[in-house]
Structures are given as structure tokens and as C-alpha cells.
Amino acid sequence: MQRTDHLKEAENQEFDICIIGGGATGAGCLLDAQSRGLKAILIEKHDFASETSSKSTKLIHGGVRYLEQAVKQADLNQYHMVKKALRERLTLIRNAPHLAHPLALLTPCMSWMEGIYYTAGLKMYDTLSGDLSIGKSEWLNKEEALKRNPSLTHKIHSAVLYYDGQLNDARYNMSLVKTAMQYGAVALNHAEARTFEKDAAGQLVVLYVRDSLTGRLLRVRAKRFINATGPFADRIRLLANPEMGIRMRVSKGVHIIVPGELMPSDAAILVPKTDDGRVVFIIPYNGKLMIGTTETESELGESEPVVERAEVDYLISYVNRYFEKPITADQVIAGFAGLRPLLQADPNADTKQLVRDHEVEVDPSSGLVSILGGKWTTYRLMAKDTIDKFYELQQMPEEPCVTDHIKLVGAEGYADDFWKVLVNKYAVPEVVARHLNRQYGTESLEIAQLMHDRPDWTERLSDRLPHTKAEVVFVVRAEMAQTLKDVLARRFGLELTDWESSDQISETVADLMAAELGWTDDERRKAVADYHAEIDWFRKSAGLIV
């Protein structure tokens, strides 16, 4: 169905569940509910994965830091959270192998004692993984460590090698939504929850939703409303019941991007401890090098969080402690910042100490169900717990959750060398075929067919990029991309890793989108001008241009 069809469906039926929030958790709830036979709709204010879920460290992990805290503090809650996440790690990889895979990480050790300490901790990490392990940890001597990652400083004593998972977060999120839609779910991006209507008992029965693209107001009816808005959860909770107390704390995570050749290795680096207790990752991602994340207390704002110059300098300073050849701020080519939803237990706790576990909250006054806290790795468990709660509240016989073995769109028939089919059947250039295979799996056949039907769409958007015109058309038609940012930041992920390239191709992308979506010349020009201005704002905020 096209977005216009979803708009009609939103008003023409009563749903079992209306989910507010189109990040990983909301998308997970949508797939879980619909795959159990419920009628579900998802409402997203901006775009799918437009907030936290596209601005993660791109890791699927149990949480080495939380395991350390569990041991030091004898905290069983943190221990169990790590164990659950490690089990989910493999499920995420199995369900979408084109979008998630194991990643080797090195923890540098500056002394023999550090080597002993980190080896013991990561062996415990292995043990918790059990038969779901995706790779065993190993203590490497200095020579072995430098061979695995030549960029490391020669001052290291050794390094501990271990494995976690890596994912393309925005595309994984989009695939959850599309898979749910295949089961019959309705989903709307650029649709803002405005007000609720209640019955005589004070229970929510209707959500009024504003279509941000047309200004039209929709009336969505549902038996139960689920708040899956992550860091913004308190806003929906208070919209449903102004008497509710604040539950969320927010921390800001920041990443910067530098050219991939600055670390010619497939093994990422985990800096396990900074002077102020944070963790820093240095990770190969899509041919670039991603450095993050700082965890700082933050406040919710109306505008998108951005990388600031002090944060750039902070991250570079830690990279240079562990790199033999220092990097500089003028090598930064992009960056992004996201807000992390942390569930508040102790109002005085430091956000670095808050557990990334989750809770399903039910407001008896309004009936609103809120899924609070959590992290990417456990999105499926969060969704399962939330939909289980729906059955309990509705006093319905519970259908079992099946999402642990649902292959996402693009995963059926996928193989690492599936790109060869595109080359052999459609004469797609190898660099483009490999790219499409990683981004779309077997769905890449649909893009190859567009290229076959319209040879002019085989043209690449830039000599530096594998993206073609056909890919733009596909994400508009099949993935509800409605704005330049939808395409460049989420569907392609390019804005997060290469500001210059993203800015340069925006004109061509706008031309293609205008033809597909019926934009006027003025609308197209405004879209491009606004996008140029936003990229300039990112650069200025990061102190990379005056």
C-alpha cells in the first residue's frame, strides 16, 4: 500500500492497538501485534527511526559496561539485563543477516594487570552468551594486537579481542515496519499525535492525528493505545493524563565520522574507561570510521540534537590516546547526536549509571500503556512484553509471540553473494550490486528491475557513491520516504556519515522525489534550500566551519 492508502485505513477501521512512536520499539510492537493476529496501526510524528533509533552506536550488544557494574555492585538486575541482551543479539542477526552481522572489537590494555582484568570480564561475557555466542574472546599479545589493528599505539601492552554485533539501525527499523505491513499493519510517518478522546470512564478511545504533510486531522480509533516514544515518553503520558509524574531521564550520545582509511582494520576498538567514566567506541561502519559516544545529561528540545565542538574535541582526544598517528578535527566529515531514553529509578542518579532496562507501565486512569527505557538490542523483548500486557488488560486469550523467528523483508533467500544475481541477471555494476545487497537483501531485485525498466535510473547519484536514481524511486514508492531527510538520513544513512556527499546529491534526489510526489517547483527549491541550510548548521555547530 502507498501512504495515501494507509491514511484511508487509519480512519476507516477500529484497531486493536494504536502505537505512537516509529522507532525500534514501536516498530517492534507493530510487527509483534500484527503477527499475532491483532489489527495494529503505528503513528510517527516525523519519520520511522528519525530520532534515537537511527542515531545509535550501531551495535547489538549485551553491555560490557553493565556486566562490569553488575559484578562490582553485586546487582542481579544488571546481570539479567546483560544475559537477555546477549540472547537477543543472535536473534537480531538471524532475522536480518543483510542488516546485522558479528563485529570484532579490541580492548587495548596498557599493562599486564589491565589484560588480566579485561580478559576475565570478557570471558564472563562469553559464558553468559553460552551456545548463542557469536565469537570467543581472546587475549592478544602486543604483536598480535597491532597486526589485527595497525592503527593502535605501540605503547599498548596487549589487547583483548571479543565479539558483538553490528547493525544498520535505520534500515533495520524500516524493515520491521515493512514486515509488519506485509502482515497487514497500517503505518504512517509524518503524522503527529495531538489529542486524545476519552469515554465516560476516562479511558482513551480515540487519538487525533495531524498529517504534517497536508495539515489534515485524522481520527484514529483503537481499543488500546501504546506509547513507544522513547525519550519523549513523558510527553505522551502527560497528554493522556496530566497528573502523571515524570519517569524519563535523557542522555545525549554523540558520534563523529572520519575517513575509513585512518583505521585500516575490520576490528573496532572499545576504550573501556575514560577519565569521567564514559565508554568510547572506534568502529568501522559503511567504509567510514565512527567514533562515539559521549553520555551526557541532556534536556529534550524541539530541534534535532547536534554535535558540538567540545564533543568533537573530547572524542578526538581519546582516539589519540590509542592511535599511533593522531587525527585532527579537520578530518571530521560528519557527525550525529541522539537522545537515549533512560528509565528513572533514582532521581539523583548519574545518567551513566542508569540501567538500560525497560518497564511496561499502565496508567489505570486513562488506560495508556507506555513502554519505557530499554535499548536497541532488546527492542523485540520490549515489544513482546508490551503486547503480552495488551492481552492481559483486554482479558483476551493470549496468542504466542512469534517474532523470534520472523525473517524481515529482504532476508528470505539472502546470501552474502546474492549480489551476483543482480550482476548476472540485470547487469548491475558490481559496486552497486554489493551495496544494494547489504542495504536491501533480496529486495534489491526490485531496485534492479526498476533499473532494467528505466535505463536512465541506472545512473549513480555521484561517482563517489553506489546509490543510483532507481534507489531513490524505490524508497519513495516502497518505504514512504517523503522528504529529502527521509531519503538521505534514514533510507540511505548518508547524512550521518558524509555531509558533503549528502549535500551534493540533494538536488538530484529532490528532482526524482518531485516527479514521484508531485512537488511544485517552489516546493522542490525550498526542500533543497532547507537541506543545504541544515547541513551548514551541523558543520557550524561542530565548529568545523566559521
**Look-up of cell digits 581472546:** 138
Find, among 338, 11, 5, 30, the residue nearest to 174 by Cα: 30
- d(CA 494, CA 100) in angstroms, rounded, equals 18
Cβ neighbours around 323 below 10 Å, total: 18
Per-residue pLDDT at 69: 62
Residue 46 in grid coordinates? 516525523
Query: What pLDDT, on a 0 to 100 scale, did the predictor assign at position 395?
Result: 96
DSSP-derived secondary structure for 364-424: TTT--EEEEE--GGGHHHHHHHHHHHHHHHHT-PPPPP-GGGPPPTTTTT--TTTHHHHHH
Return the pLDDT at 126.
83
Q: Which residues of the chain have pLDDT under 50?
A: 346-355
Q: Please give the Cα distance from 46 to 33 (Å, whole number).
A: 22
- Cβ distance 283 to 58 under 8 Å? yes
Measured between alpha carbons, how far is 126 from 59 in angstroms, rounded to an integer?
17
Question: Which grid cell sits at 515?
Answer: 516527479
Report the pLDDT value the prediction gives residue 318, as an integer from 0 to 100: 92
Q: State the DSSP code for 95.
A: H
Whether this prediction's pTM lies above 0.85 is answered by yes
- 91/431 Cα distance (integer angstroms): 29
∠ CA(246), CA(360), CA(41), 5° rounding? 100
Contacts of 62 (CB under 8 A, 6+ apart): 82, 83, 85, 86, 89, 125, 128, 129, 164, 377
Q: Does residue 354 contact residue 210 with C-beta atoms inside 8 Å?
A: no
Supply the pLDDT for residue 351: 43
Buried b / exposed e along 105-141 (16+ C-beta atoms within 10 A): bbbbbeeeebbebbbebbbbbbebbeeebbbebbbbe
Residues 283-314 have pLDDT tens digits of 999 999 999 987 777 777 667 899 999 999 99
Domain 418-542 architecture: Orthogonal Bundle (1.10)
Spatial separation of the C-alpha atoms in residues 236 and 257, rounded to whole Å: 34
Distance from the Cα of residue 70 to its chain's centroid: 26
What pLDDT score does 302 carry? 65
DSSP 277: S
The contacts found for 141-145 with CB under 8 angstroms, 24 or more apart, are 145/106, 145/108
Per DSSP, the three-state class of 204 is strand
Distance CA 277, CA 65 (A): 10
Query: Helices in 36-105 by DSSP H: which ranges?
Result: 64-73, 76-95
For helices 469-479 and 169-182, what crossing angle results, to 10°? 50
Predicted local confidence at residue 275, as pLDDT: 84
What SS3 state is found at 315?
Answer: helix
- List, as one string, the DSSP characters of 450-516: HHHH-GGGGSBS-TT---BHHHHHHHHHHH---SHHIIIIIIS-HHHH-HHHHHHTHHHHHHHHHHH
Question: Does the structural domain 95-167+249-341 have CATH classification 3.30.9.10?
Answer: yes
Q: Of 376, 352, 380, 377, nearest to 53 (Cα)?
A: 376
Q: Whole-angstrom Cα distance, residue 27 to residue 32?
A: 9
State the CB neighbour count (10 A cutoff) for residue 359.
14
Instruction: Please write the tens of the pLDDT for every residue from 81-130.
Output: 777 888 899 999 999 999 999 999 999 999 999 999 989 888 888 888 77
Angle at 482 between CA 477 and CA 487, to 5 degrees: 85
CATH code for residues 3-53+170-246+352-394: 3.50.50.60
- Of the candidates 507, 441, 437, the residue with the CA atom closest to the CA atom of residue 466: 437
Q: What number of other Cβ atoms are within 10 A of residue 214's Cβ?
A: 9
Query: What is the H or E stretch that residue 75 is in?
Result: none
Q: Please report, for the chain, the start and end positions of each structural domain, with discontinuous segments joined by +.
A: 3-53+170-246+352-394, 95-167+249-341, 418-542
For residue 247, the number of C-alpha atoms closer than 13 Å in the C-beta half-sphere is: 24
